[in-house]
Structure 1
Amino acid sequence: MILLLLLVLFGLLALVLLSGDWRAGLLLTLVIGFLQDPIRKLTPGQPGLFVGLVLIAFLASALVLLQRRRGLLELPTMFWSAPALRRWVPLFVLLIVLQALHSLVRFGIPLRTVIGVGFYLSPLLGLWMGFQIGRDQSFLRRLLQCYLLGSALVAVTVFLDYQGLDFPLFREVGGGILIHFRAGFSVFGASGLWRTSELAAWHLSAAAALAIVMAVAVRNPQQRLSWLLLASCFALLTLTTGRRKGIVFLAVFVVVFVGLLARNTPRRSAARLLGILLSAAGLALVLVFLLPETILGDDFGAYLSRAATVQEDLLERFSVLGVRGFLRGLEISGGLGLGVGTLAQTGDLQVGAAAGEGFAFVSESGAGKLMAELGLPGLLILVAIGLALLRTVLRNLRLIRQLPPATASLELGLLAFSLAQVPFFAAAAGVYGDPFVLLLCGLCIGTVFAVPSLLGEYQQRQSLAAAALLPSPLPPPPVPTAPVGSSS
């Protein structure tokens, strides 16, 4: 059954890509991304390699697009606002190759090395594809809508899981983590078809944020209300996972998005966003108070209380997983790194090739994991890339102000979505072992690189429209001629 499903999915993907339709290939890639977790749950042994299905499909679509671009990566155009990236990105790729060989020789676990390489290269692949998609705003919106539709369908299974429906596909990979509540009971967080409650929390909070972006980027009041209602449902379901990091992500996203709109669009856009956010919060409160307890459950208040305690543990968590995790990663790396994939959380291989050495918590620290696997050389290159990315963002923000309001709001929302990932990565690096998550993040930030191209096309259309409105030049006055029969 599993083999047949895989054959159908990738057979359809092959037919679509052989026709050269990379856009349809990307839409099928989203379907594979949502199905890879239930497929893994149904497979005996639940092999961690299944998280790479979406990466295979995405890479195939990217290769078709590259062929249509005649093999041109268009890096000068993509990195127009930050030419330094053309030097640092190839150097980073070379470092990943060397650290992959290091990991393979040191630990001899090819699966872990492959997953580690995917962890570092997936964002770059998503970045390039996001740049290409960003130049086609209509398809970008369609892709986001398809992701939100898929998230809504899987979110229904999270709700059913929360309601206590005992179904094999709702059980977490690896057995799950028991969550303790102050009310005196313990439960496993709802995950639905997603493989863990932590991954469910990420997708639900990401979908809530993207639904808010779509609400801001549309003008139709009915469509805006629909996106707000969907965002409210996603936010409420995030609580049922028992993972408070999703709430942190949403809070950071809202702050960043409001700040970007306030500084880079007319004041009415920021005021509109505040109104939209208040409307979304109001809808969520209405749902909480109006829905009967048979739907919300008797213990939903305990989930709300647990979410309210996030502020108490926030600084401690970032101190432990941020500062201490980084220092521990520096200590165990020996300065040169242990190799990519060393701390990969792959389910069957658990927390890393060095698990017996007492630093498993480093795998949950984003900075600690990067330091442990790549060492100081990798950290220095990543700092250089980060500074170049920051320079790109600042330069492109000035260009976004000249785009049409709907396009500018969408791009600022995707930028806010990408920036809000930073603290989430610092406190929950494990979820970023999923290439689906990494590709989505890369796609969102990649669209920002397309802003100069978008602006150039927009200004060209404006010039053509202005030229079409100009009156036709007057014909030259006729040359006077002498009357017939007159003498000179």
Structure 2
Amino acid sequence: MNEITIGILLLAGLLTMLDWRQGLVMCVVVGIAQDPLRKLAPGQPVYYVVLVGIIFGIAWIRAALVRVPLGPSVIRGWRQNLKAPFWLFLCLVIAQAFHTFVRYGSATMMGIGLLVWLAPIPAVVLAYQYASRRGVLGVRRWMLFYSVVALICLSGVYFEYIGLTWRTLGEIGEGQVIYDVGTVLKAHSGFFRASEIAAWHTATIACFVFILSLGKKPTLFRILFALGLIALLVSLGILTGRRKMLVEITIFISTYLFLVAWLQRGMARLGMAVLLMGFVGYVGIVGFIAPDLVQNSYSKSMTVENAQQIEGYAVRGQSVFADLPRRVNAVGLQPLVWAVENFGWFGAGLGTGSQGTNDIAEQHNINRWAAEGGLGKVAMELGIPGLLLAAWLVVALGRHLREQLAMVAKISPQHMRVAYGLVAFLVANAATFTVATQAYSDLFILLILGWCLGFLLAMPALAARGDGLKKKPAPRHRYDPLPPAGYRPSRPAVFPQASAQRKP
């Protein structure tokens, strides 16, 4: 570990110990910086990916020391709607962790599996308490800070594309070489360690920009600025070679518009139309990108091959609708059936389909093909019981949010817009998870998802107490005398007119 990394960790840890609420901001700094720092470190050690977990752990400990309640029961409506499916799901995860250790004798695989499946849980509670103390304004400021820092780091994708050869640019390892549309292309990651990580942050910034532009009273300038920035982000995301980020952006916007239309009176038909458009867009993108791991990008030689690339995309696009049933089946049902046939109803064990366990999986001849799709990954690591419990938990969470958001819509439009954006963001990530699971083994990404869910669960409580709402002062009668500047009465003043009208 180099001196720069140690200095950043010490500074971030010190600021977090002074105020645990600064921990979420420091996690963004460390989470974004850990990839370029890893490229500078000798040997590029893999433990750099969990540096953000150190800062999050310090924030959690500091919050516990100042007696902040960190149990899930502090969440409004938890016991009534979410307690039973959550604890059953947690018990199953722990049981599958022991299954992994007994079957393969690998504490590393078991630990990575527990980290992937359990890391979002403490993140949800800590973010809930953060939002309860900082309010909706604090949530918006955190989202803005993340967007700015991540966008600066994302600029490395363009720097790599134009041919800069800095040590902090490019993928760790051999990198992705893409053979498609009759040419050889390269996936760019910029300052991030992998192209799929860069693509995920690209889509997340786009979603957050949309939320921030509509969080307050939307204006034409904010909407145009947000659309322009989203278009720029999409162009950068294409250079990563991971077109699956289009799934997240498409589903996010469609889900947000659906929620707004569905919960407005007389707009239910429009809501269903928007939902249908989002579903068609999702299926179309899934059919277009195919279920393989390597996708397309723009190469650095854009002179002669440019026309051939465009022609290749057009030819490939003509077969989209004919191939849709086969390709949707390939990323959905087939991995699920294959996992059950090869590993049984109880799966292969926790961590077998997660990133970071490749060497262990090769030692035990574990075929990880099923983990490319979301359903296949759950069936491979948690088995069919895990799929059933996960479905129960998702349904329970959906019902809980439907009840809470209906109340928020009546109280505060400001909280409603932020809450709808967070719901759309989580739904978009669930849709992306069904197509590509690689990025969802990253600890920083899992923490961000947990924080967003915690912010969302806190919105009903914030709206109920009037957080962030401007309260109008009580009207003053035009004949009431104004006290002189600096006047502070020691006891309430009694005016003659008021005392004359007082009833005995």
TM bucket (normalised to shorter chain) is: 0.7 to 0.9
Structure-1 residue corresponding to 2:248? 249
In percent, how many aligned pairs have the same letter? 28
Structure-2 residue corresponding to 1:177? 176
What's the offset of the Cα at 1:140?
0.6
Structure-2 residue corresponding to 1:318? 328
Tell me how far apart the structure 2 counterparts of residues 304 and 5 of structure 1 sit (CA, whole Å).
47
Structure-2 residue corresponding to 1:404? 412
Unpaired runs of 5+ residues, structure 2, are 275-297, 481-496
What's the offset of the Cα at 1:7?
1.6
Tell me how far apart the structure 2 counterparts of residues 342 and 416 of structure 1 sit (CA, whole Å).
30
1:97 has 2:105 as partner: no
CA deviations on 1:387-426 (whole Å, 9 max, x unpaired) are: 1111112112212312432322121111101111112101
User: SS state of the match for residue 195, structure 1?
Assistant: coil
What's the offset of the Cα at 1:227?
3.6
Higher mean displacement: 240-249 or 370-379? 370-379
Determine if contact 1:201/1:243 at 8 Å carries over to the other structure: yes
- Change beyond 3 A, Cα 1:360–1:251: same
Structure-1 residue corresponding to 2:236? 237
RMSD: 3.4
CA deviations on 1:279-315 (whole Å, 9 max, x unpaired) are: xxxxxxxxxxxxxx9x995567747974984955665
1:168 has 2:167 as partner: yes
- Change beyond 3 A, Cα 1:359–1:224: same
Tell me how far apart the structure 2 counterparts of residues 405 and 479 of structure 1 sit (CA, whole Å).
42
Q: What is the aligned counterpart of 1:333 among 343, 354, 363?
A: 343
What's the offset of the Cα at 1:204?
0.6
User: SS state of the match for residue 216, structure 1?
Assistant: helix
- Change beyond 3 A, Cα 1:455–1:479: closer
CA deviations on 1:248-278 (whole Å, 9 max, x unpaired) are: 221111111111121235899x99xx9xxxx
User: SS state of the match for residue 121, structure 2?
Assistant: helix
Higher mean displacement: 123-132 or 367-376? 123-132
Unpaired runs of 5+ residues, structure 1, are 275-292, 481-488
Superposed, which structure 2 residues align to 1:366-381 within 5 Å?
Answer: 366-381=374-389
Determine if contact 1:352/1:360 at 8 Å carries over to the other structure: no
Amino acid at match of 2:141: R
Structure-1 residue corresponding to 2:56? 58
User: SS state of the match for residue 168, structure 2?
Assistant: helix
Structure-1 residue corresponding to 2:442? 434
Superposed, which structure 2 residues align to 1:67-216 within 5 Å?
Answer: 67-68=65-66, 70-73=67-70, 75-80=72-77, 83-135=80-132, 136-182=135-181, 184-216=182-214
Tell me how far apart the structure 2 counterparts of residues 206 and 116 of structure 1 sit (CA, whole Å).
24
Structure-1 residue corresponding to 2:395? 387
Higher mean displacement: 148-157 or 393-402? 393-402
Superposed, which structure 2 residues align to 1:220-231 within 5 Å?
Answer: 222=221, 224-231=223-230
Amino acid at match of 1:126: A
Higher mean displacement: 141-150 or 354-363? 354-363
Determine if contact 1:171/1:191 at 8 Å carries over to the other structure: yes
Structure-2 residue corresponding to 1:343? 353
Tell me how far apart the structure 2 counterparts of residues 222 and 189 of structure 1 sit (CA, whole Å).
34
1:445 has 2:442 as partner: no
Tell me how far apart the structure 2 counterparts of residues 459 and 230 of structure 1 sit (CA, whole Å).
29
User: SS state of the match for residue 170, structure 1?
Assistant: coil
What's the offset of the Cα at 1:355?
7.2
CA deviations on 1:83-108 (whole Å, 9 max, x unpaired) are: 24223323333332232232223223
- Change beyond 3 A, Cα 1:249–1:459: closer
Determine if contact 1:41/1:173 at 8 Å carries over to the other structure: yes
1:37 has 2:53 as partner: no
- Change beyond 3 A, Cα 1:264–1:188: same
CA deviations on 1:53-79 (whole Å, 9 max, x unpaired) are: 2122223213323433x2523534414
Determine if contact 2:170/2:190 at 8 Å carries over to the other structure: yes
How many residue pairs are counted as aligned between the two chains? 451
Determine if contact 2:124/2:453 at 8 Å carries over to the other structure: yes
- Change beyond 3 A, Cα 1:120–1:300: farther
Higher mean displacement: 163-172 or 421-430? 163-172
Determine if contact 2:415/2:459 at 8 Å carries over to the other structure: no
Tell me how far apart the structure 1 counterparts of residues 250 and 499 of structure 2 sit (CA, whole Å).
64
Amino acid at match of 2:407: L
- Change beyond 3 A, Cα 1:360–1:479: closer
Structure-2 residue corresponding to 1:17? 16
User: SS state of the match for residue 458, structure 1?
Assistant: coil
What's the offset of the Cα at 1:429?
0.7
- Change beyond 3 A, Cα 1:15–1:138: same
What's the offset of the Cα at 1:453?
0.6
Higher mean displacement: 36-45 or 192-201? 36-45
Tell me how far apart the structure 1 counterparts of residues 459 and 37 of structure 2 sit (CA, whole Å).
38
Amino acid at match of 1:392: H
- Change beyond 3 A, Cα 1:3–1:165: closer
Determine if contact 1:181/1:306 at 8 Å carries over to the other structure: no
Higher mean displacement: 134-143 or 299-308? 299-308
- Change beyond 3 A, Cα 1:318–1:440: farther
Tell me how far apart the structure 1 counterparts of residues 177 and 231 of structure 2 sit (CA, whole Å).
26
CA deviations on 1:447-475 (whole Å, 9 max, x unpaired) are: 2211321122019978x868x45989954
- Change beyond 3 A, Cα 1:445–1:63: same
What's the offset of the Cα at 1:358?
6.4
Tell me how far apart the structure 1 counterparts of residues 55 and 391 of structure 2 sit (CA, whole Å).
30
What's the offset of the Cα at 1:168?
3.2
What's the offset of the Cα at 1:352?
5.7
User: SS state of the match for residue 169, structure 1?
Assistant: coil
Structure-1 residue corresponding to 2:282? none
What's the offset of the Cα at 1:150?
1.3
Tell me how far apart the structure 2 counterparts of residues 350 and 469 of structure 1 sit (CA, whole Å).
69
Determine if contact 2:352/2:366 at 8 Å carries over to the other structure: no
Higher mean displacement: 122-131 or 196-205? 122-131
Amino acid at match of 1:456: A
Superposed, which structure 2 residues align to 1:415-426 within 5 Å?
Answer: 415-426=423-434
User: SS state of the match for residue 185, structure 2?
Assistant: strand
Structure-2 residue corresponding to 1:277? none
What's the offset of the Cα at 1:316?
4.0
Tell me how far apart the structure 1 counterparts of residues 502 and 75 of structure 2 sit (CA, whole Å).
54
What's the offset of the Cα at 1:186?
1.1
